[in-house]
Structure formats: C-alpha cells, structure tokens
Amino acid sequence: MDRRKFAVTAGVGAAGAVMGAPAIAQQSPNVKWRWVSSYPKTLATSYPMTQAFAQRVSELTDGKFQIQLFGPGEIVAPLAVLDAVQSGAVEAGFTATFFYYGKDPTFAFGSAIPFGLNTRQHAAWMYAGGGLDLLNQFHAGYGVHYVPMGFTGAQMGGWYRKEIKTVKDLDGLKMRISGIGGQVMQRLGVTPQQLAAGDVYAALERGLLDAAEYTNPIDDEVLGMHKVAKYYYYPGWWEGSVQVGHFINQQKWAELPERYKIAVQAVAREQEQAIINNYDAKNAAALKRLIALGVNIKTFPREVMSAGYKATFEHMDELASKNANFKKVMDHYMAFRADALLWFRVAESSYDNFVQAESVRVKR
C-alpha cells in the first residue's frame, strides 16, 4: 500500500467528515417545542387536527422537530396563549387571533369581523391577496409570527334561553361572544362576555349567561349547549367564517431552520383543509341530531341582521379613526371584500342560491 497516498486520502476524507457533520447538524438540529392550545381536547375537530399537525411536522423533519401539545389550563389559561408565546413562556400556541382584540382590535382581522369574508374569500385574502403579510407586519410589534391553520366555515348564531324577535330582545342579554362581534352586539344592547369554550356550558347552566355562541353543530353538540339553552339561531353574522392558527414566538421562529419553517407552513395548510372538510362533512348530521332532540332552530329576524350590519361599519369607522394599525388593515381588507363580493355575486352565489332553492322545490 502507498502509505503516502493513503494518508492524503484519509486526511481529505477526515476533513470532509469533520466539515460535513456540523453542516448536517446545523441543518437538522433536534428541536422540541411546547405548543399550547385555547381549545379543549374534547372537541372533535380542532384538537385531533392539532395532534395530526404535530405528528406530520415530526415526520417531515425526520423526527428532529418534536412538538409537545398542551391543552387549555395545562400550562397557560386558554385565553392567555398570546401572552405566553409573546413572553417566551412557551414557543407557540394554537388559538384565534380575535381573542386578543382587547390588546388591539386589529387582531380581529386574522379570525373574523362581522359581515366579513367567507371561507374561500378569507383564504384568498390571506394567501393570495397580501393579508397574511400585512397582519404579520402588525404581529411583529407583539413579538409573534402567525401561521394560520383552520377554518370553521360560516358559524351558527349561538344558543339563547329566550327567543330573539326584535332588537329590543337583545337589551341586557349576557352573551358569550368574542372579537369585534361582541363590541357590535354591545351597541345593540348585549353585555358581551369572553369565555373559553370549556367554561361556556357551566356559565349557561348557572344562569351567568343568557346566550352563547361557539362554532357549529358538531362542536356545539360536544359541548352540550342544547342541554342548557333552548333556541339555536343562525347565521352567525359576526363570523362568516373564522380562521384560527398558530402564534409563534418571533425569536424562536427566526432561529428555526428553514426546512422546519417550511414543514410548519405546509402542514398547517394541509390541516387547514382537513379542518374545514371535517366541519362540512359532519355539521349536517350533527344538526339533524340536535333537531331530533327538540332544539328550536331559528333564523335571526332581518331587523336584527340589518341593525347589526349598520352598527358594524359605524363601529369599525370609529376604531379606524383612532387606530392607525386598524385603519391600514381595514382599508386593505374592505377593498378586497368589495371585489370578492362582486365576483361571488356573479357566479358563486347565483349558482348556490339556485341549486339550494331548486333542490327544495323538486326534492332532489
């Protein structure tokens, strides 16, 4: 054997190994994050999809990025997710942005505003219309990065212990409702209460609430709302669709390897579709079960809807006059909404309205 040649070859190989190993390690370090949630583990849609999210991120990173999930109250209170992520107490959390409108009403746009965009329109605004980038510029001021993951579709209008026939029936009503929707309802006489999902049943049962909205039949059924309130109204005009997602500590996000970021974003989009699919596939059956149990399904009177519409834009104009962040996002959102409504009125809505009416008429 040529010892000199072997030494040179071995030296090159050793150098390559020494240089290569750290490069690979830097690209794929072991990362373990604590990820909290605002939503109970009992819910049939949001929590299983969050579990699937954690598993898929691990799979796509060869097990290097491990996400440990915690339910509401296990580390932080369900409505304190933003504070915990912002402070660095945890790395990330699954929540709805409009839970934090009290810090700044601009947070509401990430989830829903009354009479706002439907599911497809909101997704288009966020992912193709510049909405997500705009919101993350705002979120940066709070030390967090936002990755959306999930839509509910148009929600129900909630559970009421008495009938709502006129706007006057809202006077003094103590209602669990979040975001700008709660502020608008307050203008109509309601006393809004922000409670986590797991606390709503007990509050209704004990008479601390007169009404409560959560999401849709599949979730409301699990929470047992039909056992403590007789009337189930629709539509939830303050939530034409709600988007939920992940707040991630901004510094931790910046430190994350690029391929891990890509995995988080890709899996979030994957699970977002799974969440809305689950709602659309299962809400009808849940609604039928609730009707079979004697629940009174009722439409909000047009008087209430019209009053809500008027109050919504009066309230938003007031917020915009006092809050530059809110005005910047609102102007962008409303310009997109105007075009989206035009297009949907031409094709999507006309198709949906005809098919629904005709299917009832001919019974097929």
Q: Please tell me whether the overall predicted TM-score, pTM, comes out greater than 0.75 for this model.
A: yes
Looking at this protein, which amino acid is placed at residue 20? G
pLDDT digit string (tens) for 232-246? 999 999 999 999 999
Backbone φ, ψ for residue 301 (5° rounding): -60, 150
Confidence of residue 46 (pLDDT cuts 50, 70, 90): confident
pLDDT band of 47, cuts 50, 70, 90: confident
Return mean pLDDT, the chain: 92
d(CA 179, CA 182) in angstroms, rounded, equals 6
| Domain presence at residue 304 | no
The edge-to-edge listing of strands for the beta sheet with 296-299 is 191-193, 174-176, 211-212, 158-160, 231-234, 296-299
pLDDT in tens, 161-217: 999 999 999 999 999 998 999 999 999 999 999 998 889 999 999 999 999 999 999
- The tokens for 3 are 């010892």
Three-state SS annotation for 123-178: HHHHHCCCHHHHHHHHHHHHCEEEEEEEECCCCCCEEECCCCCCHHHHCCCEEECC
The pLDDT score that the predictor gives to residue 8 is: 35
- Residue 89 pLDDT > 70, yes or no? yes
Give the DSSP letter string of 33-78. EEEEESS-TT-SSHHHHHHHHHHHHHHHTTT-EEEEEE-TTTSS-T
- pLDDT at position 26 is 53
* Residue 242 near residue 146, CB atoms below 8 Å: no
Q: Which two tokens stand for residue 309?
A: 């519409």
Phi, psi of 104 (to 5 degrees): -165, 125
Does a structural domain hold residue 54?
yes
Residue 37 has pLDDT above 60, yes or no: yes
Say if residue 346 is exposed, middle or buried (CB neighbours under 10 Å; 0-12, 13-18, 19+). exposed
Q: For residue 44, what pLDDT band results from cuts at 50, 70 and 90?
A: confident
Asked if residue 21 has pLDDT above 80, the reply is: no
Domain for residue 299, yes or no?
A: no
Count of structural domains within the chain: 1
Rounded Cα gap, residues 116 and 236, in angstroms = 11
| pLDDT at residue 23, rounded to an integer | 45
Residue 100 lies in a domain: yes
Q: Rounded distance, CA 153 to CA 117, Å? A: 10
Q: What is the DSSP-derived secondary structure letter of residue 110? A: G
Question: CB atoms < 10 A from the CB of 190, how many?
Answer: 21
Question: What residue numbers bound the domain in which 36 lies?
Answer: 29-151+242-281
In a domain, 182, yes or no: no
DSSP codes, 191-241: EEE---HHHHHHHHHTTS-SEE--S-HHHHHHHTGGGT-SEEEE--TT-SS
User: CA 38: distance to chain centroid?
Assistant: 10
Q: Is residue 204 part of a domain?
A: no
Residue keyed to tokens 């509050």? 203
Is residue 219 in a domain?
no
174 DSSP β-pair partners? 191
One-letter amino acid of 96: A
Query: What pLDDT, on the 0 to 100 scale, is given for residue 18?
Result: 32
Kindly tell me if the per-residue pLDDT of 6 is higher than 50: no
Question: Considering the domain boundaries, does residue 159 fall inside one?
Answer: no
18 vs 259, more confident: 259
Q: Which long-range contacts (CB under 8 A, 24 or more apart) does 14-19 make?
A: none
Nearest to 124 by CA among 37, 286, 246, 243: 243
Cα 318 from Cα 316, distance rounded (Å): 5
Q: How far apart are CA 24 and CA 29, in angstroms?
A: 8
User: Roughly how many angstroms between the first and final C-alpha of the chain, as a whole number?
Assistant: 85
57: CATH = 3.40.190.170
pLDDT value of position 197: 86
